[in-house]
Structure 1
């Protein structure tokens, strides 16, 4: 199980509809695919999308980090000494979490194949089916209500509503329009993507509580660096608050947990640097009695499959945000997780269960 080669590929897949948040608008899902080949011919895959406004990475920086730094650091090492391997991977350079995540995924894929287990079973094996939400991009209230109605008709029962782009009153109109359209039985989550100030967040959340809009949770209401502000919002509202961009590392998680600044944590492989570090964040959160979500960036089914394996393996991970592949104009990945409307089933194949990739079609 010696790492023999590491290859990278650039991919680009158009979205069906622009994805809009308080931070950015995305029309094409771009990523770097990573392929790790071992001396026994076991091959693993990983993915890293560039998310400039969150991780600070670009396609070129990811590609450079993998090929010029991570690859020389681990080439020739054995996967059987995995603690030494992942320590080397994660200490070989500062930052660049998405580049690390792509290599980390591919290594975990190889390990699980070697053990002849699906990855989620190797990591813990808690469950093999998850229910994902579907994201409603931030637009005019009527358009968001129409989109929400369509997603409910398509079989989704949990909607993640993007807010935080305009004034607070418009965000409230957005949520009210969605709730009035879909009725009381479906679940609504909010994601402000750092778009509110502390006072705006407390005002908006209290207004929504008073209007009885039935909000399950509010994700990252304030800027990522403002942990004190995050705590203020958590302390002065009843709706649970989830930290997302505020938590990249286990050190970030420790600060949020010790100060009781959030009720939940959203773990993303692209922030954490992969499965190895994501497991540590979840274990720390569980020790504090704080549940987690696993979410994603705008990724193809390759990255989402890795995230789903992590999420399915751990009891403390109770929320799942894996709708990104459903937003793409075509699926470049054969194998991996299987979607049946809002439910995702983990493959029984060894490793991630990736069978093929249309590299010729998506190579840019």
Structure 2
């Protein structure tokens, strides 16, 4: 099953409403769908979702890098997986572009074997609870979104914070006051706080039963992150700080975090995500699998990874829910009542475009 051609298709979808986090505002998804053609009738499907802030990529750079990778791996058998990864590794960075191709490889391999990707990884669970995200917005809008999401069956809310620590504390307190404690809340500062303010916020929200705080300080301030962890009554999760195994080992040396957030687009694909989870497990850290803004192709890949990896105990795989439109016509991830499931009778990712 040799690689014949790789297509990179630019897709744009509007968001249902602007999405605000500490690092900026987005009103649309602009990403790349990968189609990997083989000399059989099997076509592997993948997705590369760029983030200028997190991975340094744009749709244009992804398309250019996919073309370069295509030259390096054209004619290789899909089963020559190690050689393919070795050749992709000669290109520095560009993790989302690499993830898109690797997801398509897994999809093709699953279709050839007649197995879903989750079973290829080693099926550990058949569904996973996911948080549903509320962006940074005024208190009344936050409460309205919380009411709507809880009414739709969400069991975990992920609340974005990081622009105004006083407003952040107020929003979280108002959610608990109005809707109680029969659901989980986790918070994500997206690098928005100073070390001092991060510690202050963690102490002020200690009584609100917060699962964890994600990336409270700048990605390259691991010592600052360690200081927050040392003084926080709430578990600390690293996200933007962890792209690779080397990053994980460094964070471990500094005792910088209790948990890590793994994203396929950030680490370069499914195998690297699985490896990060295994090494974290040996280090005593639990993992969450998260996402960028992604269609159901990328979210399906993340869900398969979560279902097939023991140490992925948490999921934040909701990036498809606030997009207008769906490029997946059949199959793929289903998010219902706060749970992500996949039809495990379908091979590969299970997505038909």
- TM-score with structure 2 length normalisation? 0.97
Distance in 1 between the 2:317 and 2:259 partners? 17
Distance in 2 between the 1:125 and 1:157 partners? 23
Aligned to 1:59: 59
Aligned to 1:199: 196
Distance in 2 between the 1:79 and 1:73 partners? 13
Question: Quick check: 228-237 or 72-81, which moved more?
Answer: 72-81
CA contact (8 A) 1:22 1:195 kept: yes
Distance in 1 between the 2:109 and 2:336 partners? 28
- 1:75 positional shift: 0.9
Secondary structure of 2:14's counterpart equals strand
Aligned to 1:360: none
CA contact (8 A) 2:37 2:44 kept: yes
- TM-score with structure 1 length normalisation? 0.94
4+ aligned runs moved over 2 Å, structure 1: none
Distance in 2 between the 1:236 and 1:294 partners? 25
- 1:349 positional shift: 0.5
CA contact (8 A) 2:303 2:341 kept: no
Distance in 1 between the 2:21 and 2:202 partners? 18
Secondary structure of 1:44's counterpart equals strand
Distance in 1 between the 2:74 and 2:154 partners? 43
Distance in 2 between the 1:20 and 1:56 partners? 19
Choose which of 336, 339, 342 in structure 2 pairs with 1:346. 342
Distance in 2 between the 1:88 and 1:310 partners? 23
Aligned to 2:77: 78
Distance in 1 between the 2:260 and 2:270 partners? 15
Question: Quick check: 20-29 or 185-194, which moved more?
Answer: 20-29
Aligned to 2:6: 6
CA contact (8 A) 2:50 2:265 kept: no
CA contact (8 A) 1:116 1:350 kept: yes
Choose which of 124, 130, 154 in structure 2 pairs with 1:132. 130
Aligned to 1:155: 153
Choose which of 170, 173, 176 in structure 2 pairs with 1:173. 170
Aligned length: 351
Choose which of 251, 269, 274 in structure 2 pairs with 1:274. 269
Secondary structure of 1:34's counterpart equals strand
Aligned to 1:87: 86
Q: Could you list the per-position Cα deviations for residues 187-208 of structure 1 after superposition, in whole angstroms to 9, with x for gaps in the alignment?
A: 0100000000111101110111
Instruction: Give 5+ residue unaligned stretches, structure 2.
Output: none
CA contact (8 A) 2:22 2:161 kept: yes
- 1:323 positional shift: 1.1
- 1:113 positional shift: 1.4
CA contact (8 A) 1:142 1:177 kept: no
CA contact (8 A) 1:119 1:352 kept: yes
Secondary structure of 1:333's counterpart equals coil
- 1:232 positional shift: 0.6
